[in-house]
Amino acid sequence: MSADSQDELGPGNLMGVNVLVREFEHLRYVADTALATAIYLSTQLHKPLLIEGHAGLGKTEVAKVLASALETRLIRLQCYEGLDISSAVYEWNYQKQLLAIKLQEKSEHTVEEKEKHIFSREFLLQRPLLQSIVEEDRTPVLLIDEIDRADDAFEAFLLELLSDYQITVPELGTIRAKHVPYVILTSNRSRELSDALKRRCLYHWIDYPGFETEMRIVRARLPGVEERLARQVVHLVQAVRRLELSKPPGVAETLDCAQAASTLGKHVLDVETVEQTMGCLVKSMEDSVALRAAGIAGLLSE
């Protein structure tokens, strides 16, 4: 991002949202005004932004593109069931501590001094959440991806971070953020998040794009794909989304399908090509059966 663009994104500048849209498009991400406004307010108010929506619609990409636009570091925490503090926040380097204890056996330091040394930051392994707090150079973008996969206990732990941007390490005390990170949380809504977490965040829902918006995305991400083929792929994907599938295709599947057809040297999308690229479009045997039962030829002609 140029210095002029960074100035335009400054607090109180009404052009900030439009500049953000342009910067994202420059980085090949098509963001509508509603999403750009949510991102802009999140950065200016220093409030986390919770983005929900179906899988494959570019939620994770928002944080990546924002970090590129701001020319800052992206710190990513991928959530999963059983995620705990040692994986998300910090843990002690026990092997290094044991080595330090052995080296200090014959030293004249007191027990308290030895203990203070081995529980210093030198022996602390920083995980994503702590990294975002101690970052010194520039304000980082912290991506907490698929927070709905983590359990309630971890979600509750996040509240301290998102409220006060500080983390407490019992042996060291409370560590406060040098630069309050820009925080993006994503969720596929596999479970309902707590009201306490939602209250601390701005919120945006990403829905399936309309035809013209999806065409803009394909043009931006796959400029080498022929226009006619791209339009046929987008038409097909939008028709497939209206079927009763367990996992309707997202924009990611649209891009995969268009790129696959182009790689195969296809200039038009026909039944044979759809069959050949079926694995790009649907991700289960049941959905493949449902797609064929709906009639591929009929979907192509819609």
**Same domain, residue pair 166 and 260:** no
pTM of the model: 0.85
Residue 132 sits in the same domain as residue 269: no
CA atoms within 13 A on the CB side of 27: 19
Domain stops at, among 158, 178, 206: 206
Q: What is the CATH number of the domain that holds 155?
A: 3.40.50.300
Q: Does residue 100 fall inside a structural domain?
A: no
pLDDT tens-digit profile, the chain (302 residues):
544 444 445 444 445 898 999 999 999 999 999 999 999 999 999 999 999 999 899 999 999 999 999 999 999 999 999 898 888 988 888 888 788 878 777 777 776 777 777 787 888 888 999 999 888 788 999 999 999 999 888 888 888 788 888 888 888 888 888 889 999 999 999 889 999 999 999 999 999 999 999 999 999 999 999 999 999 999 999 999 999 999 999 999 999 999 999 999 999 999 999 999 999 999 999 999 999 999 999 998 87
Q: Are residues 184 and 242 in the same domain?
A: no
Helix (H) or strand (E) holding 77: strand 74-78
Contacts of residues 164-171 at CB distance under 8 Å and 24 or more positions apart, as own/partner, are 165/133, 166/133, 167/89, 167/90, 167/129, 167/130, 167/133, 169/90, 169/124, 171/119
Q: Which domain holds residue 235?
A: 211-301
CA distance linking residue 49 with residue 54, whole number of Å: 17
153, 278: one domain: no
Residue 243: count of CB within 10 angstroms of its CB: 15
- Judgement on whether residues 267 and 142 belong to the same structural domain of the protein: no
Total domains in the chain come to 2
Q: Do 184 and 223 share a domain, yes or no?
A: no
Residue 103 lies in a domain: no
Q: Tell me if 110 is assigned to some domain.
A: no
* Domain closes at, from 163, 178, 206: 206
Q: Which helix (H) or strand (E) holds 142?
A: strand 141-145
Residues in Cβ contact with 120 at an 8 Å cutoff, skipping those fewer than 6 apart? 172
**Within a domain: 106:** no
The answer on 244 and 139 residing in a single domain is no
Together in a domain, 254 and 147:
no
Q: Are residues 13 and 146 both part of a single domain?
A: yes
For residue 108, being part of any structural domain is answered with no
CB burial readout 147-184, b (16+ within 10 A) else e: bbbbeeebbebbeebbeebebebeeeeebebebbbbbb
Kindly write down the DSSP assignment for every residue of 158-226, as one continuous string. HHHHHHHSEEEETTTEEEE-SSPPEEEEEE--SSPPPHHHHHTSEEEEEPPP-HHHHHHHHHHH-TTS-
Distance of CA 254 to the CA centre of its chain: 19
Beta-bridged to residue 204, according to DSSP, are 51
Q: Is residue 147 part of a domain?
A: yes
Q: Tell me, yes or no, whether 218 lies in a domain.
A: yes
Q: From CA 148, how far away is CA 268, in angstroms rounded? A: 40
The verdict on 190 and 223 lying in the same domain is no
What is the C-alpha separation between 38 and 247, in angstroms, rounded?
Answer: 27
Residue finishing a domain among 152, 176, 206: 206
**Residues 171 and 225 both lie in one domain:** no
CA–CA separation, 23 and 184 (whole Å): 18
Dihedral, CA of residue 191, residue 194, residue 195 and residue 200, to nearest 10: -110
Are 238 and 265 contained in the same domain? Answer: yes
Residue 111 is predicted with a pLDDT of 67
249 within a domain of the structure (yes/no) = yes
Q: For residue 169, which phi and psi values (nearest 5 degrees)?
A: -110, 115
